[in-house]
Chains A and B, each alone.
Chain A
Amino acid sequence: MSLDYVKFTPGFEKFMPKEYRDMVDHGPFGKKTTVSQMGSFKEVMEEHPMCAGCAMTLFIRLAVIAFPNPEDTITVGTAGCGRLAISQAAIPFVYGNYGDQNGVASGLSRGLRLRFGDKPKDVVVMAGDGGTADIGFQQVVHSWFRHERFTTIMLDNEVYGNTGGQESGMTSRGAVLKMAPLGKKFDKMDMVGLAKLAGCAYVATVVPNNPRRVESVIKKAVLVAREVGSSYIQAYTSCNIEYAIPTDKVMEDAKTVENDRYAFSEYISDEAKEYLAERYGYKEYLPKPAAAVAALADKA
């Protein structure tokens, strides 16, 4: 959990695989790498068995690039497709039992604070919609009500992808899936509403067809969770297998779904805005100068 863990043990460099040497010398550790530099630095994600063209894979790839301090980050995941890729990044990954991930992350983030004090160590949970809204629901919502300081990301493919197509609480009403042949009879759960109700300090919905926006929400969510409170990102990450989306149409589908039910949204509490402005220089959240506010009031 520091830059040291990606350095070579003296004398061993020549025995390391090329990918590892590239990552130490040209990876993102200790630098500020961004989405716009993609293709020119060695990413920490390595090869993994997720399906060709999977939007969840793209989202995870972008998320890992967006972590503000990858060398001081631990990811937590659970059963489901996403862990197949998250676990292949050179970032420590903790595998919670199915649905336990937010309980594990609560203990982990508290322990890291005890051990490292004010030095930021970021904990980021990434789990499927089934893992987050169904099986892990109790632990997720309780962690939010306790205002645990870590980030929860739902990889919402609106289905249990890893086990062949059962409906989840996040599946839309009427959707017909291999193992829900009659169509879902209930509405998609409002996890964003619940996150706000439980007092999350940062809540966003996003679709991976806008990589810079994904980068921006991940950065803010992780930074807010360092001090202010829980943060939640709900990302539409289609399952092209279970929804039979041709792989070259995955981004077209993301656009359609964005227009239909996944418009970009972002909620930031006042405290989180102030913190982002003061600590991390987010000028857009600086309080408006008193004179400008008075002038606006005059005009009204």
Chain B
Amino acid sequence: MYLVADINVEICAAKSCKLCTQYCPEANTILYSDEMGKDKGFKYGSAYVAVDRCKGCAQCVWVCDNMAKNNAIKMIMIDQLPNAALTDNIIYGEKSTTVALAAPVVG
């Protein structure tokens, strides 16, 4: 198993700065959803990681901790994530994306 980045929606949605999205070296990997966290009363949505594209470099962790000063991202073994975003389940909209979370490791 290997490490991937995992964004805590409640911590991220309190800030929603999108910095990690701009610093992840991999394209289409940290995406943004206006809807995430709305059910918990947050206004601006959250970033999330398409774990099938994440290479586990932890640069986003450094950016969130040191630049955003929000500590919303942790590295987690992929089989410890019960549900995560996968490229196949991402729907692009006009200004944001939505995603149905699913188990990243099957079997």
Which A residues form the contact surface with B (CB < 8 A)? 18-19, 22, 25-26, 35-47, 50, 52-55, 57-58, 61-62, 209, 211, 247-252
Are A248 and B61 CB-contacts (below 8 A) given A26-B92, A39-B47, A40-B95?
Answer: yes
Residues of B within 8 A of A39 (CB): 18, 21-22, 30-32, 47, 97
Q: For the complex, would chain A's binding face be called helix, strand, loop or mixed by DSSP majority?
A: helix
Q: Which of B28, B30, B58 contacts A53 (CB 8 A)?
A: B58
In the assembled complex, which residues on chain A have CB atoms less than 8 Å from the CB atom of B87?
Answer: 18-19
Contact between chains at A250 and B32 (CB < 8 Å) = no
**Chain B binding site: helix, strand, loop or mixed by DSSP?**
mixed
Contact between chains at B58 and A247 (CB < 8 Å) = yes
16 A-B pairs (CB sep. < 8 Å): A22-B90, A26-B93, A38-B22, A45-B27, A46-B28, A50-B25, A53-B55, A53-B59, A54-B25, A55-B25, A57-B25, A62-B22, A211-B22, A248-B57, A248-B61, A252-B66
> In the complex, are the beta carbons of A53 and B25 less than 8 A apart?
yes
Pick the residue among A18, A41, A57, A62 that contacts B26 (CB under 8 A).
A57
Contact check, B56 vs A251: say whether CB atoms are below 8 A apart: no
Tell whether, in the assembled complex, residue A247 and residue B59 are in contact, meaning their CB atoms are under 8 Å apart: yes
B62 at the binding interface (Cβ < 8 Å): yes
CA distance A247 to B5 in the complex (A): 13
Contact B59 A248, beta carbon cutoff 8 Å: yes
**8 Å CB interface, B53-102 against A:** 53, 55-59, 61-63, 66-67, 87-88, 90, 92-93, 95-97
A27–chain B nearest beta-carbon distance, Å: 9
| Nearest-neighbor residue (CB-CB) of A56 within chain B | B25
Pick the contact of B28: A37, A42, A247, A250 (CB < 8 A).
Answer: A42
Smallest CB gap from B47: residue in A: A39
Please state if B56 and A58 are interface contacts (CB–CB under 8 Å): no
A53 with B32, Cβ < 8 A, contacts A40-B95, A251-B63 known: no
Docked pose: A36 CA to B27 CA in angstroms: 14
Which residues does chain B contribute within 8 Å of A211, judged by CB atoms? Answer: 22-23
Query: Is A40 a contact of B53 with CB atoms below 8 Å?
Result: no
Contact between A52 and B88, CB atoms less than 8 A apart: no
- Beyond A52-B55, A252-B62, whether A40 also contacts B32 by CB under 8 A is yes
Does B24 sit at the interface, judged by CB under 8 A? Answer: yes
- Contact check, A58 vs B55: say whether CB atoms are below 8 A apart: no
Cβ A35 vs Cβ B53 within 8 A: no
In the complex the two chains form, is A40's CB within 8 Å of B97's CB? yes
| A43→B28 contact, CB < 8 A | yes
User: Would B58 and A251 count as touching, CB distance under 8 A?
Assistant: no
Listed residue (A18, A22, A38, A45) with the most chain B CB atoms within 10 angstroms of its CB: A38
Whether B56 contacts A52 by the Cβ 8 Å rule is yes
Do A45 and B28 have beta carbons less than 8 Å apart? yes
CB-CB nearest in chain B for A215: B22
State how many angstroms separate the Cβ of A45 from the closest Cβ of chain B: 4
Most chain-A Cβ atoms within 10 A of its Cβ — which of B21, B25, B66, B97? Answer: B25
A159 to chain B, nearest CB (A): 18
A118 nearest CB across to chain B (Å): 32
